[in-house]
């Protein structure tokens, strides 16, 4: 069985455009405050009738069309999300139903904003054993768990989905190396405090805002500055490449100012960093596949280019992947 390849990409974002002005009012800031600190100008939020699985299925259809496969060829569907439709069952089960792919095993992966890379790893291992094709989707609807008065979070997040089709046959982009890391001692930096077995549903939890997404922004920036450059250096060494070999950098779309600082620290002399956060904000697990798809469709990637994908976020977790286009 050959290398696992990316055979097609796809993305979907909701129609509703939410400007900085719209989120700024309740948060007590303004457009200049948001854009100067994040580089985000607007984001998309799901319609009332849309859940995570709806966005995921829409992105999946685009990816399958790009790959030239049909649903009956799928062996597995993996959805990376931290905002599933419901606590149970997995969002992937709903995606399977929406796509009409009953032969495909379907499950979720929750590694928050690093989820897409973790999901790629899971799907890759299944394909090596089973063959066929895998649909790997990153999808999140953060707008449903944001506190409208919390300026640390509500200004950052948007909704969306991105997908890739993996296979071991045909022409495609080779996934050359993947590395996954989790720093559980930093798990309190990003969380939804209530709603699980630790703090189950309660009226007091609702009144105290414990079901909203919460983030220590300063702590997250410190985590990225402390760990990402070292992890990337280690990863490139393991993969047998140098910073000079990297043509493209596709990071999780956390914050534009932070990404500029990280990219400068990484010092890739020949690489282009790709960003979509200006128009879509931070879309969680969807941000990497959305950005990968849009860069691919723009013609930015050329045969032989090496693409470094870097996810980081809640857990705290980091996932790195090297793709040869």
Q: Convert the pLDDT of each residue in 259-278 to its tens digit.
A: 999 999 999 999 999 999 99
Instruction: Tell me the per-residue pLDDT of 91-150, one tens digit each, with 9 for 90 and over.
Output: 999 999 999 999 999 999 999 999 999 999 999 999 988 888 999 999 999 999 999 999
Q: How far apart are CA 227 and CA 274, in angstroms?
A: 21
Higher pLDDT, 1 or 178: 178
In a shared domain, residues 21 and 136: yes
In a shared domain, residues 134 and 189: no
Q: What CATH number does the domain containing 25 carry?
A: 3.40.47.10
Return the top range by mean pLDDT from 156-160, 207-211, 216-220: 156-160
How many structural domains is the chain composed of? 2
In a shared domain, residues 232 and 168: no
Strand-pairing partners, residue 58, are none
1 has pLDDT over 50: no
Cα Rg, the chain, nearest whole Å = 19
Annotated catalytic residue 252: yes
In a shared domain, residues 230 and 310: yes
State residue 2's pLDDT score: 60
Q: How far apart are CA 156 and CA 253, in angstroms?
A: 10
Instruction: Tell me the per-residue pLDDT of 214-228, one tens digit each, with 9 for 90 and over.
Output: 999 899 999 999 999
> Would you say the pTM of this structure is higher than 0.85?
yes
Q: Which of 172, 196, 222 is the last residue of a domain?
A: 172
In a shared domain, residues 149 and 189: no
Of the residues 20, 110, 255, 282, which is catalytic? Answer: 282
What mean pLDDT is predicted for residues 67-90?
Answer: 96
Of the residues 20, 110, 113, 255, which is catalytic? Answer: 113
Domain that holds residue 74: 5-172
* Percent of the chain scoring above 90 in pLDDT: 90
What mean pLDDT is predicted for residues 235-243?
Answer: 96
Instruction: Tell me the per-residue pLDDT of 36-71, one tens digit each, with 9 for 90 and over.
Output: 999 999 999 999 999 999 999 999 999 999 999 999
In a shared domain, residues 163 and 180: no
Q: Which of 172, 191, 223 is the last residue of a domain?
A: 172
4 has pLDDT over 70: yes
In a shared domain, residues 215 and 153: no
In a shared domain, residues 150 and 287: no
In a shared domain, residues 90 and 185: no
In a shared domain, residues 36 and 143: yes
Annotated catalytic residue 20: no
In a shared domain, residues 140 and 199: no
Of the residues 20, 252, 255, 274, which is catalytic? Answer: 252
In a shared domain, residues 117 and 156: yes
Higher pLDDT, 131 or 279: 279
Contact by Cβ (8 Å): 79, 141: no
Q: Which of 172, 195, 217 is the last residue of a domain?
A: 172
Annotated catalytic residue 113: yes
What mean pLDDT is predicted for residues 275-284?
Answer: 97
């Amino acid at each position: 069985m050959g290398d696992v390849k990316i055979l097609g990409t796809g993305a979907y974002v909701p129609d509703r455009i939410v400007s900085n002005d719209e989120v700024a009012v309740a948060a007590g800031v303004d457009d200049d405050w948001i854009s100067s600190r994040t580089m985000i100008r607007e984001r998309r939020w799901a319609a009332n009738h849309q859940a995570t699985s709806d966005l995921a299925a829409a992105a999946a259809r685009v990816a399958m069309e790009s790959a030239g496969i049909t649903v009956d060829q799928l062996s597995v569907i993996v959805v990376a999300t931290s905002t599933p439709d419901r606590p149970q069952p997995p969002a992937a089960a709903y995606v399977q139903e929406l796509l009409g792919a009953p032969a495909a095993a379907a499950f979720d992966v929750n590694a928050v904003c690093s989820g897409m890379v973790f999901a790629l790893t899971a799907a890759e291992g299944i394909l090596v054993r089973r063959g066929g094709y895998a649909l790997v989707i990153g999808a999140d609807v953060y707008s449903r768990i944001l506190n409208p008065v919390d300026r640390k979070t509500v200004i950052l997040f948007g909704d969306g989905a991105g997908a890739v089709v993996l296979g071991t046959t045909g022409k495609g982009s080779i996934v050359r190396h993947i590395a996954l890391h989790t720093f559980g001692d930093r798990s309190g930096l990003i969380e939804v405090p209530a709603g699980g077995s630790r703090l189950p549903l309660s009226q007091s939890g609702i009144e105290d805002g414990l079901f909203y997404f919460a983030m220590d922004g300063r702590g997250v920036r410190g985590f990225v500055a402390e760990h990402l450059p070292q992890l990337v250096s280690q990863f490139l060494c393991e993969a047998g490449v140098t910073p000079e070999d990297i043509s493209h950098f596709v990071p999780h779309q956390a914050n534009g100012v932070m990404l500029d600082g990280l990219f400068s620290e990484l010092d890739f002399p020949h690489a282009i960093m790709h960003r979509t956060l200006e128009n879509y904000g931070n879309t969680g697990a969807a941000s990497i596949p959305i950005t990968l798809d849009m860069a691919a469709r723009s013609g930015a990637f050329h045969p032989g280019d090496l693409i470094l994908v870097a996810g980081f976020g809640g857990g705290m977790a980091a996932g790195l992947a090297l793709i040869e286009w």
